Amino acid sequence: MRLRNYIALVYALFIGASVLVLSLTINVFAGNLFSLYIKNNIKAQSEEIARSLSDQYDPFSGSFDMTTVQAMGMHFVHQGYIVSLADNEGRTLWDARTCDMKQCAAVISEITSRMAGHQLNGAFENSLYTLDYAGKPVAALNIQNYGPFFYSEGESLFLRSLNRFLTAAGLVFTLLGVVVSVFIATGLSRPILRAAKAARRIGRGELSTRLVPSGGRLSCPAELEELSLSINGLAEALENGERWQKRLSADVAHELRTPLTVLRGNVEAMLDGVWESSPERLESCREEILRLQKLVEDLNSLSVIERDALHLHRTEFDLEKLLAKTAEQFAAAAKEKGIAIRCCLTSAPVFADQDRLTQVFFNLFSNALSYTDSGAITVQLTARPDAGQYEITVEDTGIGIAEEDLPHVFERFYRSDKSRSRNTGGAGIGLAIAAAIVEAHGGRISARSPAANSDAGSVFTVVLARA
């Protein structure tokens, strides 16, 4: 069953059941309330009959005005009350059945059939009243009526009309509920179907597929909007992944092409006798082989780290000593370029992988030295006791990083010089490895450049948790 039909069916059944229960409840409640009203009305009417007949007593003659009693009695018969009047000795003064048995029988039959039509079974019951004058009993009144209650023709018509109204209202609201349920089900299923179609298109490789948000319409709840946004996010991530894979293939091919071309040219030249096999030329070939080996090793390291397979061998050591030792390794190369290395360090015990962090800071120093021709490289270690962290900055006075390049400096193979000249750095993997190692330690790394192409240079910041 399709989702739209399923939701519509569930809504329709729920609304129909609700209308049915509500109609039955109203019917029962209204019937009980109306029955109570009828019982009270019958009681009040019987008491009114007793008062009316009592008023027909003449104290001077000691008798009732029988003409009026007969007229009133027959009137009460038509209203469903069979009246009989007797004196104090029990002698019958007037009885509606004796007066007109045929009429009384017709009334009794009509009331009985009317109540049977309302599925209410009962029988005629007697109610006794004592008529008195000046506090003295003058007669006994017996009123016979259908019990426990009965409806007049007008009251029966009212009940039938009420039942017809409730039935019609139930049908109308049930139909309306079905229409509304179909509308709601369509509104709910439409975004889901759109998302399903988009997912199928993405599965076929159409990664540019996007769902246009409906802008929070009534027919599309926030959860379904979130579904659409999630589909868009998935498509964008896959598209970026595909773009990254294509770029990775191009970058790897570019990085491998140059050393392989040099190697092939040198070897072919020596095989053809164009060049003699000299130690210098063999050393050139060895350097290209070492470059290839370094590139493969970097790619393998980055692959291990990025697939969460990096196993950290954590030990407790002083970060100050690690930074000082790393700076010392670059002291000779920095002196040769006329660059000063300044260290502002303090004791910083950490629990981390010392070899991996050495690789991080080695890459940062190497990067700073490659892009700095004069000035200084400053490494500073600051403790943040309130945050339980250490902040390490490596700042240089080199060429800086263009603003549009800053968001990409930690991506693999990304280098700000699009020509990829070997004079301005390596393959562009070092910073990606550094970022992956820092993140594996639960830290973060960032880069900023106050002003590109000026002496302001670049600042790389590493934040690590304290031991």
User: Tell me, what's the pLDDT at 218?
Assistant: 47
User: Tell me, what's the pLDDT at 423?
Assistant: 47
Q: Domain ranges for the chain, please list them.
A: 3-167, 312-465
Res. 264: pLDDT tops 50: yes
Res. 351: pLDDT tops 90: yes
Amino acid at residue number 120: L
Summarize pLDDT for 381-437 with one digit per residue, the tens. Answer: 998 888 889 999 999 988 888 888 888 888 776 665 544 444 444 556 788 888 888
Residues of the chain with pLDDT > 70, as a percent, come to: 85
User: Tell me, what's the pLDDT at 421?
Assistant: 46
Is this structure's pTM higher than 0.95? no
Residues of the chain with pLDDT > 90, as a percent, come to: 14
Summarize pLDDT for 111-149 with one digit per residue, the tens. Answer: 677 666 666 666 777 788 888 888 888 889 888 877 665
User: Tell me, what's the pLDDT at 122?
Assistant: 66
Q: Which two tokens stand for residue 356?
A: 């991996």
Summarize pLDDT for 13-36 with one digit per residue, the tens. Answer: 887 788 788 877 877 787 778 778
User: Tell me, what's the pLDDT at 44?
Assistant: 87
Q: What is the CATH number of domain 312-465?
A: 3.30.565.10
Summarize pLDDT for 218-243 with one digit per residue, the tens. Answer: 446 677 777 778 888 888 888 877 77
User: Tell me, what's the pLDDT at 231?
Assistant: 82
Per DSSP bridges, beta strands 57-58 and 63-64 are antiparallel
User: Tell me, what's the pLDDT at 285?
Assistant: 83
User: Tell me, what's the pLDDT at 216?
Assistant: 47
Res. 467: pLDDT tops 90: no
Mean pLDDT within 372-378: 90
pLDDT band at 344 (very low <50, low <70, confident <90, very high): very high
Res. 374: pLDDT tops 80: yes
Greater pLDDT, 454 or 72: 72
